[in-house]
Copies of this chain bind each other. A is one copy, B any other.
Amino acid sequence: MPVNGVTARGEQQAVIARVVHAHQTDEELGAYLQTLMAEFEKLRELGFSQLEIASVREAARDYNRTRKKPVELAARAAKLEATGVNTWQKARKENDFSLFAPVLQEWIDIVKQEAAAVEPTSDVYDFCLDKFERGASTKRLDPFFASIKTPLISLVRQIRKTRQGPNRQFLQSKDLFSGTFSLETQKRLARRFSEELGFEFNSGRFDESVHPMTINIMSPSDVRITSRFSETELSSGILATLHETGHGLYEQGRNAQACKEGLPVSRPPGMGMHESQSLLWEKQVGMSAEYWEHYWPIILRSFSSLPYSEFTEFHKVINEIKPSFIRVSADEVSYPLHILLRYEIEKGLLHGSLQVADVPAVWNQKMEEYLGIVPQNDAEGCLQDIHWGIGLFGYFPTYTLGAVYAAMLFQAAEKEIPELRKCIKEGKFKPLREWLREKIHTVGSLYETADELVEKVTGSKLDASCFLNYLSNKYGALYNLSSAEVDAVTIRS
């Protein structure tokens, strides 16, 4: 968008928000929903399907929450969303948090007013968390984050220590992979990788953008994913592609009939479950040794500048653990600590125990404590993410919930799919994809929370131990940690 377009865009978004709001709060719709909810317990014997019953539950919830949300607040939020992004970009570019502070403060005010109007009995941050992850609350997430905090800080530290050790310098091999990699070849390969995981190009597009993303044009038959590529670094484009393909597979796998009928049951039970699908394909599959055993020869054939080497080298490089200031380029061990930091700051801001002006200092102090590094400036620190510029509070935790669900789901899949790792080694992804389609994608929000769905599929509720075991086993082996070092991280469940 050209810079002068921002005002008009804000006004347009406000108009659209008002039109959508009017439809979402239509009284005729409300009357139907009221009738259905009055008979909710009897719907099954009245012949409603489970998908329909879940849709009534979701639609009634949406309706009631939207009715309670003041329309002027929605319009104000829509307008701030447009101008907020611009201000955030400017503040980041000029590395000046004070430019962004008023936007952040206005979002906090809007979110508080919204929470007070919609769920007056709920805690304001619980209201935010529940918006993106049904059933999430600080009561539920405080102990969850507490259970991963110490083990992950400890694992990051141990791995950083090993880099001093003489025989653990495998990361020098990264030099093998620096060079110039044709963007055209990378794009062609990325398309192939995506297609081989099962992304359906007749029902989707694959393009480039500055920020990789997935959108669904209101139909599982029109799903758009994007990736980005670097001419000098090979792995980031591949991993971003696998990540977005995971989101894309969820979208293409949604219940087609329910989507066509606009039934809310077709949507995921939370953003964590959606993220679990991108992370499952990117991390559990795409960063496994088996995956690279299959694809490394293909990569070698495509880039003649690459020296011949074992797939294990590339596998080690993409699994490098190296604390970074930037969340989106963080490795999978430090990533949850980036999230924890944001979770604590958001909670503080919304509970009033932290003031906007203090965010930069608190950010840097937590970075030091969790990851042992301090950003040089706010552009690399508290201004790095777009989320607070567009009013997304309570969203960040879904990234880590997604990582944990992914580990749990992959473990369950390994138990149920014969020779799953062998399939991956042979580039056969259909068994896993179909399993996820049946267990996750088509199920949508049949169950009210992701927790319930995960329990149905894996037999247990949200549980960090599976994730921690996965990390300590994988990185213990890659970094030759002693079993004592590994044990210090692992929670035996």
Contact = CB atoms under 8 A, between A and B. Distances in A.
Nearest to A20: B19
A7 B1 CA distance: 29
Contacts of A8: 217-219, 221-222, 260
Q: Give 9 nearest A-B pairs by CB, closest first.
A: A5-B222, A8-B219, A4-B221, A4-B203, A4-B202, A3-B202, A5-B221, A2-B204, A2-B203
A154 interface: no
A302 interface: no
A35 to B, nearest CB: 24
Interface string A203-247: 111000000000001110111000000000000000000000000
Interface in A171-230: 200-205, 217-219, 221-223
A123 to B, nearest CB: 36
Nearest to A252: B4
A205 B221 CA distance: 30
A218 B12 CA distance: 8
Given A7-B221, A19-B19, A205 B2 contact: yes
Given A2-B203, A4-B200, A12-B218, 16 more contacts: A1-B217, A1-B222, A2-B204, A2-B221, A2-B222, A3-B202, A4-B203, A5-B217, A5-B219, A5-B221, A5-B222, A7-B219, A8-B217, A8-B219, A8-B260, A9-B222
Contacts of A260: 8
Contacts of A204: 2
Given A2-B222, A4-B222, A222-B4, A9 B217 contact: yes
Interface residues of A, number: 24
A450 B217 CA distance: 39
Nearest to A206: B2
A160 to B, nearest CB: 43
Contacts of A200: 4
A202 B4 CA distance: 6
Contacts of A7: 219, 221
A223 B1 CA distance: 9
Contacts of A1: 205, 217, 222
7 contacts: A1-B217, A2-B203, A3-B202, A4-B202, A7-B219, A8-B221, A8-B222
A1 B201 CA distance: 10
A202 B221 CA distance: 36
Contacts of A23: 19
A7 B200 CA distance: 16
Contact of A203 (B5, B19, B203, B221): B5
Contacts of A201: 2
Interface in A1-51: 1-5, 7-9, 12, 19, 23
Which of A4, A201, A260 is most buried by chain B, counting CB atoms within 10 A of its CB?
Answer: A4
A203 B203 CA distance: 34
A8 B262 CA distance: 11
Contacts of A221: 2, 4-5, 7-8
A200 B5 CA distance: 12
A8 B217 CA distance: 8
Contacts of A223: 2
A2 B202 contact: yes
Contacts of A9: 217, 222
Contacts of A203: 2, 4-5
Contacts of A217: 1, 5, 8-9, 12
A203 B217 CA distance: 27
A3 B19 CA distance: 30
A82 to B, nearest CB: 11
Nearest to A204: B2
